[in-house]
Structure 1
């Protein structure tokens, strides 16, 4: 099984030719729908059946049983970010040295480069522009990999919206606080998704490929 992450033209062409799973990091559900449709169209242009090419929304999050609980844990994580390693990490992510800018002023315009992950840069800079983040806030968001706070029900709604509108076939989850959020996922989110008919109750195959509904072999 081949998974591809990256939104550059080269990465997307590779995924259209060889990929079984394509990881997508998009700022809105509308952008995710465009990415998904274009990726499946590219696969079809390469002589492949588009349906088995699965688009996974790469989603970083903090989960709480309530929204207040999730917001509080996200705020705690932000408060723990030290500016020295935080700014160094942000500079690496953006491929631009931001260590000399004022911490509590808006992050200045920074161009997307051809170095590193173009998709990650585009996603993060779009987030900065849309939310008008200061450098300190951008550093905090970067330290938690862009994670957002969701209540269990709000995240179930998020999943439903993506999979029922064609924005994604599934999700690759990244937890900013693994233990507490994973507990909420197992105890609250999965049962809710099962009630909505959006999550399996058993496995249909003996391999990961079979359980994801991927054909064999993976080549065109």
Structure 2
């Protein structure tokens, strides 16, 4: 048995309209309008804050695939708020929970993105994080005059320099640069304002950013890439990793690998929080939870399940029989980390395409836990103490009931065991996660 850790489990909730089960929106409790109903988003963020969650997380894509529209029409995943806009609105109606939004390095410019997140961090009082991603499909490229879409390796080269520029811009002002001294007539100290003067292979950015530093110094950088290049980028830049692992052993292997890459960049294991996804189906008893799960599975439309599987694997599978095992597939240029998770799942249990799309419809390769609140807490403790996770990104099957059940049933169980906070002790996202405030680093020292 693993030694019990002395720190506490970190918790995020991954918001996705309707729920994380692909048929969650069809459940009688499922919301059908939360993707574009601001008040519903407010209620969910406040519920997570009531549960003392570390953060509320918003994903994003900047395109809709033009193929298989009839299948896509069966999933509530085509329309939703632009995440930075929603984050600003949520910052105004919450006061403690961290707020993390996704923004791509492939189809943004560093100055724009740095300025927006720096502003959000000030507005929220230091509660914001940036989920740094690279865009992974041609549908996104088509909206930004990019034809063809940038190759996988090139996307990560761009992302690495992009992140370097953004972090440099966030250090345009020292913490005490703004004097606002009415007696002397000086608003800021010019010696404490710094030009970046970045000239790299892809970006030329003079700076400075016209937004000062926030109470947490810089927004927290989150990363979700699990491929080799994704892990390398995370080792250099990330402070939180969202990842997918189906089993404890897979989680432990990823955890050891990710933490093991930090030393090469002058970083320590405490500089990175690893939060795999967990998909909890909660019942008062295990039997009740299993009944809930089977009902959700009965709502999956085959065309929708296949579309989701094809989207995650980045290829057309329509020529293959549904009730035969997944064939060998050639490499592709999409999101490689998630593809590897799903292929391992298929090979391990020799799943047919039908079985695989039903598995993917549940949690897209994340850990599925079906049981009572105590059983869910048992799994979380095992992963936490077993060094497979520092915390979890919770993926409720159905919104709002899945989140309500977790907050009302699982959180009190974790608190009873002394594994999760009963009150917030800090004000910023960094304080929640136990991450240090980054010291100011002048451009000439970078």
State the match for 2:318 in structure 1.
99
CA drift of 1:110 comes to 3.2
* 1:87 partnered with 2:320: no
In structure 2, what is the equivalent of residue 145 of structure 1?
Answer: 363
Question: Cα deviations across residues 18-77 of structure 1 (Å, max 9, x unaligned)?
Answer: 111012212321221121122112112100122121011122332222222222222222
Following TM superposition, by how much is the alpha carbon of 1:149 offset from its aligned partner in structure 2, in angstroms? 4.2
The answer to whether residue 228 in structure 2 is matched with residue 9 in structure 1 is yes
SS at match of 2:423: coil
- 1:160 corresponds to 2:381: yes
Q: Distance in 2 between matches of 1:107 and 1:4?
A: 29
User: Do the aligned residues in 1 keep the contact of 2:278 with 2:369 (CA within 8 Å)?
Assistant: no
CA distance in structure 2 between the aligned counterparts of 1:37 and 1:83, rounded to whole angstroms: 37
Report the equivalent of 1:124.
342
More divergent stretch after superposition (126-135 vs 198-207): 126-135
Q: Distance in 2 between matches of 1:27 and 1:149?
A: 10
Partner of 1:61: 280
- 1:63·1:180 contact (CA, 8 Å) conserved in 2? no
Q: Is the 8 A contact 1:81 1:143 kept in 2?
A: yes
Instruction: Find out whether 1:45 has 2:264 as its counterpart.
Output: yes
RMSD: 2.0
The size of the alignment, in residue pairs, is 219
The structure whose residues are more often helix, as a share, is 1
- Following the alignment from structure 1 to structure 2, what is the Cα–Cα distance between the partners of residues 156 and 167? 15
Most deviating of 206-215 and 55-64: 55-64
Residue 134 (structure 1) aligns with: 352
Distance in 1 between the 2:429 and 2:247 partners? 29
**Distance of 2:397 and 2:350 partners within structure 1:** 22
Contact 2:281 2:369 in 1 (8 A): yes
**Contact between 1:57 and 1:170, CA under 8 Å: does it hold in 2?**
yes
Instruction: Give the distance between the partners of 1:215 and 1:149, measured in 2 at CA.
Output: 32
Are the counterparts in 2 of residues 88 and 99 from structure 1 also a CA contact under 8 Å? no
Residue 177 in structure 1 maps to residue 395 in structure 2: no
Q: Gapped runs of 5+ residues in structure 1?
A: none
Residue 75 (structure 1) aligned to one of 266, 270, 294: 294
Which residue of structure 2 aligns with residue 197 of structure 1? 418
- Deviation sequence 1:69-112 (CA, Å, 0-9, x none): 2222222222222222321221111122112222233333335x
The answer to whether the 8 A contact 2:270-2:435 is kept is no
Report the Cα distance in structure 1 between the residues aligned to 2:227 and 2:329, rounded to whole angstroms: 18
Structure of higher RCO (CA pairs closer than 8 Å, 6+ residues apart): 1
Q: Do the aligned residues in 2 keep the contact of 1:71 with 1:149 (CA within 8 Å)?
A: no
Per the normalisation by structure 2, the TM-score is: 0.46
- In structure 2, list runs of 5 or more residues that go unmatched: 1-219
Counterpart in the other structure of 2:23: none
Structure 2 counterpart of 1:209, from 404, 414, 430: 430
With structure 1 as the length reference, what TM-score do the two structures score? 0.90
Please say if 1:186 is aligned against 2:407.
yes
